[in-house]
Structure 1
Amino acid sequence: MNILIIGPSWVGDMIMSHSLYQVLKQQYPHCEIDVLAPNWCKPLLARMPEIRKALTMPIGHGTFGLMERYKIGKSLRNQYDMAIVLPNSLKSAFIPTFAKIPIRRGWKGESRYGFLNDLRSNKNDYPMMVQRYIALGFEKSAVPNSEDLTIPAPYLILDKQEIENTKNYFSEQLQLTNNRLAIGFCPGAEFGPAKRWPHYHYGKLAQLLIEKGYSIRLFGSEKDHQVAEAIRLSLANELQSYCINLAGQTSLNQAVDLIGDCRAVVTNDSGLMHVTAALKCPLVALYGPTSPQYTPPLSDTAEIIRLIKGGLIKVRKGQDSQEGYHQSLIDITPEMVMEKLEKLIL
């Protein structure tokens, strides 16, 4: 059986989808799995051994592109026995329909009647996103309930030689820290400062760690470079050389290698949090308005700190500080994080 996955558009969601691919290999042992996803996903998919091929989705997130979707679907005809659509949008179901794939499976989402012929409507029975992905790996009549659903943890393959190659590429930045174990910080968040732990807390934690003999690696995209630099510059001059701002400097593939080389990671609720979990790297995950009930790090070596109760709070910029931080994250002190971190690395 050949299976086409219409993949998600976000880093964290792509990592969580790996649990589904593992379940598909259990349910259909001889299946071949291809994933249609944005080009930037390819480094992640290449590290998932269950995937045969990553196909580039050239249409940007949020773009309708009906004719282009038709052309892609037509080019995929007579290649697949089943498609599984992970995004909830109507347009994400077009390509499998245009490809005339016999079985088109997914959640009802935006009323996708007629486009998906194996339509599931009980999504709320599965409170975690990863459970919703995994449930699509089963025949409709055989899906376990959420309490009985086994979650295979996502994992990414690391290659020691590739890690060394990446470290050599950044040798100039890393040269002063070669004799120190690295702690990674992931201070960015896709949807604004309300999901971020304050930069000054990261700075204080960096100071505590550097004084204990560690170095700090700051990870993120180009738009995270400024907040990462604020963390570095908050340190005393003599400590700044042990705090390396790599945000916006690495490819995703390079970031995966360098995170995998860290002793531990401190991170906001973000895509890189899920990458770190999939690398089996010890991590402390900091939650505020978002909820670990829905998208926790899927790792046995993760510590979660959240000081408020309840589910998701939809806020992108908090009113509790000039920088837009949310009070629930401001209230998490560096000392709290240090205590959790020491449990993981000592």
Structure 2
Amino acid sequence: MVPNAQRVLLIRPSALGDVCRSVPVLVSLRAAFQDARIDWLVRHEFAPAVAAHPALSRVVSFERGALGRSLASLRVGPTLEFLKSLRRERYSTVVDAQGLARSGLFAWATAAPRRAGFADARELGWIGLNERHRLPRGLHAVDRMLALVHAMGITPIHDMRLYTPKPDLDAFHADPHLAGRRYALLAPGSRWPGKRWPPDRFADLAQRSLEMGLDAVVVVGSPGERDAMAPLLDLARREPRLIDRVGRTSVGGLMALIQHAAVVVANDSAAVHIAVGFDRPLVALYGPTRVDLVGPYRRDADVIQHARPGDRLDHKDETAGRAMMERIQTAEVADRVDRVRDRSPHGPAGDQNRSPG
């Protein structure tokens, strides 16, 4: 039986894709603790991904860089003050869904009577817990978090829905380049070079997508990825229907763009998991990654991956990763885009998000 809890803290600070696919933990906690205050500890830059979720009471954000600088300079005051602020909240239950040293430290700092997490948390992150659950490592990341919830005596709920902050939705609807138009969203970036499909193929795909009858193609990415996307951005300067939003979109803005896209084409990156959260048509391009562990949740059919026996599925191995991504041909991606665009299993996503399953 689930014990009474008045204040609950979910710890999942990063990265953006991981934050987005941790939403089922929040939904499960809300169903179990209907009258509790439920907070989410998350990095400041990723807070918009969950801030508008109706199951959440409050975001507790922190700036990773600021905390890191305070420790590196031996000025521990800001870090200690943040840790003390967690203790002052008097949480009754803490769930560490991250399983790293920093998240374990945050859990320990709360001094909550119940601090649950993974018994095999990396970097000795389990030290900050007083309720450690040993769970199979061969589960998908979402299923493993929900297995943790279940081990706590809470019924897991597989609800991946995301909610875009209202200001970002309003800005989208006021954008004359996008509102009311059918567009493909391309996310050619990824933190790891071995996960990136060649940018010239993305440029070719953009041209083919426009020839399919879509009104526009929107390209997104971080400011540091502009050089790597040169073929696409060169095309955007010649083709007005190719809209360059690389380095010009906030997290909330990205959510609004994906929520209204006719189709999303992305490498293994946060855009994939946001598309799942909005139940959008998706073409996910995967190379050196275990799709069964970290792919789009319950949407393996949306993945294009050409792994061969003997391939090393290590996203840090750039050479092996690039070789795998090179096997994905533009024609097969374009064919998939043409087949899935506008065909969400649960209908088009509007401002009221629908459950993906």
Structure 1 and Structure 2 fold alike (TM over 0.5): yes
Deviation of 1:179 after TM superposition, in Å, equals 7.6
TM-score (norm 2): 0.81
Counterpart residue identity of residue 131, structure 2: D
Separation (CA, whole Å) in 2 of partners of 1:220 and 1:300: 23
CA RMSD of aligned residues (A): 2.9
CA displacement at 1:54 relative to structure 2: 0.3
Change (3 A) 1:29 1:151: closer
1:51-62 alignment to 2 at 5 Å? Answer: 51-60=56-65
Distance 1:119 1:247, change over 3 A: same
For 1:121, which of 114, 134, 153 is the aligned residue? Answer: 134
How many matched pairs? 327
Q: Distance in 1 between matches of 2:143 and 2:195?
A: 23
**CA deviation string 1:59-101 (max 9, x = no partner):** 3399394654442232233521011112222232223323211
Among 100, 106, 115, the alignment partner of 1:95 is: 106
Q: Distance in 2 between matches of 1:160 and 1:68?
A: 32
Q: What are the residue-to-residue correspondences of 1:247-326 with 2, within 5 Å?
A: 247-298=246-297, 303-309=302-308, 313-316=313-316, 318-319=318-319, 326=322
Q: Note the 1:34-49 alignment, pairs <5 A.
A: 34-49=39-54
Three-state SS of the structure 1 residue aligned to 2:100 is: coil
Q: Please give the per-residue CA displacement for 1:191-226, whole angstroms capped at 9, x wherever unaligned.
A: 2x2101111111111111112222110011111223
Contact 2:28 2:154 in 1 (8 A): no
Matched residue SS, 1:155: coil
Other-structure match for 2:82: 72
Q: Which residue of 2 aligns with 1:147?
A: none
After TM superposition, the score normalised by the length of structure 1 is 0.84
Q: Does the 8 A contact of 1:269 with 1:287 survive in 2?
A: yes
How far apart are 1:247 and its partner, in Å?
0.9
| Pairing of 1:225-240 with structure 2 (within 5 A) | 225-234=226-235, 237=238, 240=239
- Over 3 Å counting, the alpha-carbon distance change for 1:67 and 1:184 in structure 2 is same
3-state DSSP class of the match of 1:308? coil
Whole-Å Cα distance in 2 between the matches of residues 12 and 112 of structure 1? 21
User: Which one of the candidate residues 327, 334, 337 is aligned to 1:341?
Assistant: 337
CA contact under 8 A between 2:32 and 2:154: conserved in structure 1?
A: no
Measure, in 1, the Cα distance between the counterparts of 2:64 and 2:134.
Answer: 27
SS at match of 2:17: helix
For 2:350, the equivalent position in structure 1 comes to: none
- The residue that corresponds to 1:106 in the other structure is 117
Amino acid paired to 1:30: D
Shift of the 166–95 alpha-carbon distance from structure 1 to 2, 3 Å rule, reads: same
Work out whether residues 116 and 132 of structure 2, in 8 Å CA contact, stay in contact via their aligned partners in 1.
yes
Deviates more, 1:179-188 or 1:153-162: 153-162
Distance (Å, rounded) in 1 between the aligned partners of 2:66 and 2:98: 11
Aligned pair in 2 of structure 1 residues 12, 152: CA closer, same or farther (>3 Å)? Answer: same
Letter in 2 for 1:120: H
In the alignment, the residues of structure 1 paired with residue 226 and residue 340 of structure 2 have an alpha-carbon distance, to the nearest angstrom, of 27
The match for 1:31 is: 36
Query: 1:132 maps to which residue?
Result: 144
- Structure 1 spans left out of the alignment, 5+ residues: 145-149
- Change beyond 3 A, Cα 1:236–1:46: closer
**Post-superposition CA distance 1:274-329 (Å, at most 9, x none):** 11211111110010011211112136696111111579722446337xxxx61221
Q: Secondary structure at the match of 1:122?
A: coil
Cα distance change, pair 338–139 in 1 and its aligned pair in 2 (3 A): same
1:220 to 1:61, Cα distance in 2 relative to 1, 3 A: farther
CA contact (8 A) 1:15 1:274 kept: yes
